[in-house]
Amino acid sequence: MPDTTDRRILRQLLADPDLPAADLAARAGVTPATLWRRLDKMRQSGIIVGQQAQIDWRRMGYEVEVSLRFTLDKTNPRGFDEFTAAAREVPEVIEIQTFLGSVDFRLSVIARDMAHWQEIYRERILTLPHVETSDALMLVSTIKNSAELPL
């Protein structure tokens, strides 16, 4: 379990992941050696699972994001695995989530424009296996998107 110093390091890392190590250590109130040792310990324990670039899909020309909710036909025991495998093959699917309750899966799908979305929907989404019902929600705006925790 992370202690107060680990939490301080994590807060600073989340606030500015591109910060040079010496600056991160200074902001967290630890020496660079302590910073590296604690970061390594948190990586090995699975608290830190990686660092990755976040891409603004809109600046890459993808103007449409759709959230698709699916309920699957549960009569086929391989249905979940087959649906998951097929959804992973759709390049425009940027997120796949599973749920308990009335919805089994949620996919986030990006498209360049509405014509591209229609093409993706007709050629790739409608062909996903074992779908009983689906619902699409068009993203209008993102109010909050944060990986920060109350550390």
pLDDT at residue 150 in the model: 75
Helix-helix angle 32-44:4-15, to 10 degrees: 90
**Structural domain includes residue 149:** no
Indicate the number of domains in the chain. Answer: 2
| pLDDT, tens only, 110-135 | 999 999 999 999 999 999 999 999 99
pLDDT < 70 positions in the chain: 147-148
11 and 32 housed in the same domain: yes
Q: What is the CATH number of the domain that holds 73?
A: 3.30.70.920
| Same domain (yes/no): 61, 113 | yes
- Would residue 46 be called left, alpha or beta, if left means φ above 0 and alpha means ψ between -120 and 50 degrees? left
At 69 the pLDDT is: 98
Confidence at residue 145, expressed as pLDDT on a 0 to 100 scale: 81
How remote is the C-alpha of 101 from its chain's centroid?
A: 21
Q: Do 40 and 63 belong to one domain?
A: no
